[in-house]
């Protein structure tokens, strides 16, 4: 089955649950993905531009979920295409019809400093989940 890269904005509670249970959920899980060419102004139809638009939209959502102006966290996951339900055709928003198991997560993106620029998000490998949890707790 083909896989789709989905960027899932997380709050501290979702991150803690992932650490404890090995899953993001319950379904539906909200995220962003570059499924198909967009007609939205400002988003090109090049794969990299669509991926960046999806990642940026997830960063905006993560800012809304950050506790008291805390750091944004995004999980990058590769999920089965069959569980991805696309929102509006010209948007990056998607919903996943199933939980996201830890083995499906490739990486995390975390603010270097709370409230920083999208370009300042740091990359953490999925094996560094405990480090990300600790970073958000500090």
Domains of the chain from N-terminus onward:
3-137 (3.20.170)
The model's pTM is 0.89
CB atoms closer than 10 angstroms to residue 69: 8
At a CB cut-off of 8 Å and minimum separation 6, what does 110 contact?
71, 72, 73, 74, 121, 122, 124, 132, 135, 136
In the structure, what pLDDT confidence band is assigned to residue 138 with cuts at 50, 70 and 90?
A: low
Q: Is residue 69 pLDDT above 70, yes or no?
A: yes
Strand, coil or helix: what is 131? helix
In the structure, what pLDDT confidence band is assigned to residue 57 with cuts at 50, 70 and 90?
A: very high
What pLDDT, on the 0 to 100 scale, is given for residue 130? 94
Give 5-50 pLDDT, tens digit per residue.
999 999 988 999 999 999 999 999 999 998 765 555 555 566 788 8
Mean pLDDT (the chain) is 88
């Amino acid at each position: 089955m083909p896989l789709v890269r989905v960027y899932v904005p997380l709050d501290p509670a979702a991150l803690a649950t992932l650490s404890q249970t090995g899953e993001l959920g319950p379904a539906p899980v909200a995220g962003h993905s570059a499924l198909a060419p967009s007609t939205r102004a400002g988003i090109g139809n090049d794969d990299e531009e669509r991926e960046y638009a999806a990642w940026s939209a997830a960063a905006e959502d993560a800012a809304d979920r950050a506790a008291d102006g805390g750091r944004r966290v995004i999980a990058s996951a590769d999920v089965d295409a069959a569980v991805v339900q696309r929102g509006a055709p010209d948007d990056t928003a998607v919903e996943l019809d199933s939980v996201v198991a830890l083995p499906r997560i490739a990486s995390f993106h975390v603010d270097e400093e709370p409230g920083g620029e999208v370009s300042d998000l740091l990359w953490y490998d999925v094996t560094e989940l405990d480090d990300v949890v600790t970073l958000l707790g500090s």
